[in-house]
Structure 1
Amino acid sequence: MTTLPLPPGSTIGILGGGQLGRMLSQAASRLGFNVVILDPEENSPAGRVSQGQIIAAYDDLTALGVLGQTCQAVTFEFENVPASSVERLVRGGAVVAPGPRALAVAQDRVEEKTFLNGVGATTVDFAQVDNLDDLLAGLERLGTPALLKTRREGYDGKGQVWIRSAEMAADAWSSIGERPAILEARADFTRELSVIAARGRDGEIAVYPLGENVHAGGVLKTTTAPAQVDLKTSDRAAAIARAILDGLDYVGVLGVELFDLGDGVLLVNEIAPRVHNTGHWTQDGCVCDQFEQHIRAVAGWPLGPTTAHFQVEMTNLLGDEVDQWRHLASAPDARLHLYGKAEARPGRKMAHVNRVKSL
């Protein structure tokens, strides 16, 4: 039986072997934990910096059983891990954080927005779309332009299409594979913000300063934090994060993407039940970064401080942009974080660089 808080020397399992799993594993190692990765990709980025890796599909029952028996706690690095796999681990007696409910809510965009509105976190108006007639009815109610997204999966701009007139509906429906979807009204926002927050096993909550995000082609390009926001906006963002964390009885780090409408009015775009790309700035801007914070929460440790000691501009390096590593490594204000991926495919997140400035 697992006893919390986990002492150093305990083993933590991570579902997923990508860059987030890699940075979680590195943070866990600093705190004295061993890490085992479960990922179908042999020699994954996270597996190479961990004690071991189980090479298997995320729904492989034997692999899940081994992971649950080997590790004193299990977490995950991305939200498309099958919720049934997390439920299987829990049924087998494993301590898993965040829990399966958070994963299930975040995996379905209709369920996500319904939950958010239920805890007082306002979103854009939306319509559930199961067929072309639903889409046409949604466009009539919400107007155009409107954004059509698949209910499940899809990230970094994938699985979504803007509809600018009702005449585009049939082609848009076809372009997402006629899959269950959500239609979202356009948000008239001034900028995109995000808040990274954590909740411990005892209900303690810690909130990082807001970040301001710039996207290019549907993919995050930069996050600047702490963002220049007034107290009304930062307080509202913290209240939204707290409502979500408590509403899910959440344990771990959560990313919340926000539309800033001005005067402290914020709409939630989406949530991510994991460490988040827009929180990478904390690695060089805070004493306790989001990755250590997540491990602390999963292990039942006290949460760390979230005060920013520097302003940081985080920039994602996509595809062959990683070839700039020599130049970036020589920049006095830049700290480079490479993910150890072998192939620099176009649009693939290969690294990020944090440029540090005094507050």
Structure 2
Amino acid sequence: MIGRTKTKPLAPGATIGIVGGGQLGRMLAMAAARLGYRTVILEPQADCPAAQVANRQIVAAYDDPDALAQLAQLSDVVTYEFENVPVAAANSLAGPVPVYPPPKALEVSQDRLVEKRSLKTAGIATANFLHVNNDADLAVALAGFGGTGVLKTCRMGYDGKGQRVFRNFSGDPTGIYAAMGGVPLIFEQLIAFEREISIIAARGWDGTIRCYDPAENVHRAGILHTSTVPARIPAATAEATRAAAFAIVEALDYIGVIGIEFFVLADGSLLVNEIAPRVHNSGHWTEAACAVSQFEQHIRAIAGLPLGDTTRHSDCVMENLIGDEVARAPALLAEPNLVLHLYGKAEARPGRKMGHFTRIRPVGS
């Protein structure tokens, strides 16, 4: 267990530190408040979405030593809302205060190459891949994969950023490495999958693991568009997602909620695409279709409380509101059986997640 070991659950009134002030931090702060906890946000942007609902904000960079020391002093436990928190910052916090999920999970998830190798070590199947450090490496990778695959930056890519797709490429790759930023890259096999799914899992202090039902995801321009539950997969495939989640959280000695994305192949088998050591966009549906959302589940896990029931009381479709789509909010509010959540962002920019909504219906209808 990372950081100062806790022996009993956090009492109401304790303070949870959250690194990152976006919409995930906002929803974590709201869930913490429902359970009687206070929250303090570390985020360089003043009046960020999370700070609007938290008790306090430290306006500073994520790696500011004084700010980290202040966060540790104010907090009984610290968590984070995104996976690009500097690992050194998480490690510095983990001395004086427990940090969940453990910084090791950050290290694994921040580098796609490290992530893929770690998954392989844990016995989890992924797409085939090769490390690319120059144009010569890329030429070898393209030849090995028949000119078809996805070239990705090893670090800092999300929502489709830092990626380039190749299909039957037979030209000269000279200059492509530099065009991708001259940084470490990974070339992944392009998978002919039937659908993309994800599972949200949680592991508590005592090793208890809970999984929500898998969601079927549709992306547009690299950004999640919808998550539908139940996913159109056989029961054996759903069970395989849970088995993979168990293996991953055990391998990482994980505490908290994790999102795991999969490709479903034609025969029903699975390949893990990536992991996210945090609450996840594809789990937002739990807010409307379960008694205990992924956000409350995460707070329960890091506070040492019993994990909640993950049973789904409704079938549902969650849809993101991107950019100007937030203008749909008044019309959406007129619909029955719809739960809307806006993130408090002042400016609706293209590609920016402004909110989400979930339409629910009786199970099996």
TM range (shorter): over 0.9
The one-letter amino acid of 1:306's match is T
Aligned residues: 358
User: Please, which of 191, 208, 213 is the counterpart of residue 209 of structure 1?
Assistant: 213
User: Please, which of 217, 222, 233 is the counterpart of residue 218 of structure 1?
Assistant: 222
- After superposition, residues 248-259 of structure 1 pair within 5 angstroms as 248-259=252-263
Q: Show the counterpart of 1:108.
A: 111
Give the Cα separation in 2 of the matches to 1:194 and 1:71: 31
- After superposition, residues 152-301 of structure 1 pair within 5 angstroms as 152-164=155-167, 165-167=169-171, 169-301=173-305
Give the Cα separation in 2 of the matches to 1:294 and 1:168: 48
Give the Cα separation in 2 of the matches to 1:168 and 1:28: 54
Give the Cα separation in 1 of the matches to 2:137 and 2:221: 28
User: Any conservation in 1 of the 2:149–2:165 contact (CA below 8 Å)?
Assistant: yes
Alignment of 1:46 onto 2:50: yes
User: Please, which of 118, 122, 125 is the counterpart of residue 125 of structure 2?
Assistant: 122
As a proportion of its length, which structure holds more helix?
A: 1
Structure 1 position 137, deviation (Å) = 1.1
Alignment of 1:330 onto 2:321: no
Give the Cα separation in 2 of the matches to 1:149 and 1:331: 40
* Secondary structure, aligned partner of 2:94: helix
Deviates more, 1:95-104 or 1:161-170: 161-170
* Secondary structure, aligned partner of 1:167: coil
Q: Show the counterpart of 2:362.
A: 358
Q: Show the counterpart of 1:64.
A: 68
Deviates more, 1:26-35 or 1:134-143: 134-143
Give the Cα separation in 1 of the matches to 2:134 and 2:76: 44
TM-score (norm 1): 0.98
* Secondary structure, aligned partner of 2:46: coil
Alignment of 1:133 onto 2:136: yes
* Secondary structure, aligned partner of 2:265: strand
Give the Cα separation in 1 of the matches to 2:266 and 2:204: 31
Q: Show the counterpart of 1:84.
A: 88
Give the Cα separation in 2 of the matches to 1:208 and 1:238: 9
Structure 1 position 171, deviation (Å) = 4.9
How large is the Cα RMSD of the aligned pairs?
Answer: 1.1
- Structure 2 residues not aligned, in runs of 5+: none
Structure 1 position 144, deviation (Å) = 2.5
Give the Cα separation in 2 of the matches to 1:66 and 1:275: 24
User: Any conservation in 1 of the 2:135–2:176 contact (CA below 8 Å)?
Assistant: no
Structure 1 position 130, deviation (Å) = 1.0
Structure 1 consecutive aligned stretches of length 4 or more whose deviation exceeds 4 Å: none
Give the Cα separation in 2 of the matches to 1:144 and 1:123: 19
Q: Show the counterpart of 1:147.
A: 150
Q: 1:133 to 1:196 in 2, by over 3 A?
A: same
Structure 1 position 178, deviation (Å) = 1.9
Give the Cα separation in 1 of the matches to 2:171 and 2:311: 50
Deviations 1:134-159 (A, max 9, x none): 11111122223110000000111100
User: Any conservation in 2 of the 1:232–1:263 contact (CA below 8 Å)?
Assistant: no
The one-letter amino acid of 1:127's match is L
Deviations 1:181-200 (A, max 9, x none): 10001112100000100000
Sequence identity percentage: 52
Alignment of 1:75 onto 2:79: yes
* Secondary structure, aligned partner of 1:49: coil
User: Any conservation in 1 of the 2:135–2:175 contact (CA below 8 Å)?
Assistant: no
Deviations 1:305-339 (A, max 9, x none): 00100011000000000011110111112211000
Structure 1 position 4, deviation (Å) = 2.8
Give the Cα separation in 2 of the matches to 1:133 and 1:215: 32
Give the Cα separation in 2 of the matches to 1:171 and 1:239: 42
Deviations 1:276-325 (A, max 9, x none): 00000000010111000000000011100001000110000000000111
Give the Cα separation in 2 of the matches to 1:34 and 1:147: 43
Q: 1:100 to 1:334 in 2, by over 3 A?
A: same
Give the Cα separation in 2 of the matches to 1:298 and 1:195: 19
